[in-house]
Structures are given as structure tokens and as C-alpha cells.
Amino acid sequence: MAKMESLKPANKVVASTLAAAVTTLVISLIEWLGKTQVPGAIVVSASTLVTFGAGYLFPPSDKDQVVPS
């Protein structure tokens, strides 16, 4: 299993976390502007899919310093 050389989060982790936060803000904006309530299951599903997509598609950086175990 690969290990990180430091505890600094990998770029993929940062991208996924930001994607989750942006998804939450966008859904909150939709609720506020639309004066509606988005069901919780939809919010969780959307956040999960966007987070997975960002983590899967965002390439690792050369600075991530993954070392073989």
C-alpha cells in the first residue's frame, strides 16, 4: 500500500473536500432563491456523487510525495 511522505493532504483530497463544500453552498443557494426545500436524500446523493467525481477525476500532483511501502 502506498504511503504519504508527510501528513499534508494530497491535492485529490483537497479537491474532493472543496467540491463537497461547493455542492452544499449551491444547494443552499437553490433552496434560498427557489424558496423551496430539497429533500435530504437528494442533498446527500448529490454531495456524494460530486465528491467522488472530483476525487476520481482530479490528478495527483508531483508534490504529493507518495512513496512505496
Burial 32-43 (b: 16+ CB within 10 A, else e): eeeeeeeeeeeb
Residue 60 CA to residue 54 CA, distance in Å, equals: 11
Per-residue model confidence (pLDDT) at position 37: 97
The residue with greater pLDDT, 69 or 16, is: 16
Nearest to 23 by CA among 55, 59, 49, 61: 49
Least confident of 4-8, 9-13, 19-23, 52-56: 4-8
Per-residue model confidence (pLDDT) at position 36: 96
pLDDT (tens digit per residue) in 31-68: 999 999 999 999 999 999 999 999 999 887 777 776 66
Q: Where are the domains of the chain?
A: 10-57
